[in-house]
Amino acid sequence: MAVREGRSFVGLEARKPSASVRMLDYVMDFCFMVEDRLEELGMSRTELAERLGKKPSSVTRVLSGSANITLQTIAEYDAALDLGIILSRNESRMERPSLTVTATARKDETDVERSYTSTEG
Amino acid sequence: MAHGYEIRAHAMLGVRILVLAKEDRRDFLEKLEENPKSAERFELVCRTYEKITQRGVGRCVGKQNFVRVLEGNLGLVEVKVGNTRIRVMSYLHGFGEDQELVLMFDFTGHQGSDNIESSDMKKGRKLAKVARECMEERE
């Protein structure tokens, strides 16, 4: 048996996330959100790049977390993919804020409600 | 035990973080946690592991993704910690939906090129083989 129980990092759950941690959450949530939407639409990264009027390498850098994602970037991707992104504020300030996709924001779907909040589960 | 190593399963945020460690020695994650200067690095690594696990490791693996395959035959991968330069050399165990990530050690990636120091690669190859033995002993 080469696997044994380690520590419990319970303190982490109570810690208020720093700006860097929040940024990590935003970036990864955004990347996952775009990938999910591409899958739904059956669209490749190259096609997305064409729709955005950018090089495929630019999309790759964004979706691999390598690029500096700005609000401009988010707005452009939202417009291209109809992501329906809203910035919402958590009631609990200890919980991490999220970028949320809502069903009403999409024209072609009525039954999809997906949250990329990291606090669930 | 595989060469005096073991896999430690740390509990955090509802997930189990698997880390390769020398027996009776602190692993890299425990060292990061204990040092106030690296507390944020520790948290970033843990959050990334949590997010990748919740999404499904397999869905995050790719040449241009958060889990970059370095040497497929060894299961040697690099975990990119969000948009930072922090990287974690890791071993990817299993196939499909049952894939598990075993973290081995952290390092700082090269800005821009994503190149990895040859010494880190050498260490990674060696530890990936050990991690595989440990995971196979479990099964």
Provide the CATH number for the domain around residue A90.
1.10.260.40
Domain assignment of residue A110, yes or no: yes
Residues spanned by the domain of A24 = 12-118
Domain assignment of residue A16, yes or no: yes
Q: Residue B1: what pLDDT? A: 52
Judge: A2–B137 Cβ closer than 8 Å, yes or no: yes
Domain assignment of residue A1, yes or no: no
Which residues of A are less than 8 Å from B27 in CB distance?
A: 6
The ipTM, to two decimals, is 0.86
For the entire predicted model, the pTM comes to 0.85
Give how far A60 is from chain B: nearest CA, Å: 7
Domain assignment of residue A2, yes or no: no
Rg (CA), chain A: 17
What average pLDDT does the segment B32-61 reach? 92
- Specify which residues B110 forms β-bridges with: none
Domain assignment of residue A96, yes or no: yes
Domain assignment of residue A113, yes or no: yes
- Give yes or no for residue B53 having a pLDDT over 50: yes
Judge: A23–B66 Cβ closer than 8 Å, yes or no: no
Of A3, A5, A81, whose CA–CA distance to A48 is shortest? A81
Question: Which residue is closest to A119 within chain B, CA to CA?
Answer: B13
Contact of B20 with B103, CB cutoff 8 Å: yes
Domain assignment of residue A114, yes or no: yes
- Overall number of domains in chain A: 1
Confidence of residue A119 (pLDDT cuts 50, 70, 90): very low
Q: Is B78 helix (H, G, I), strand (E, B) or coil?
A: strand
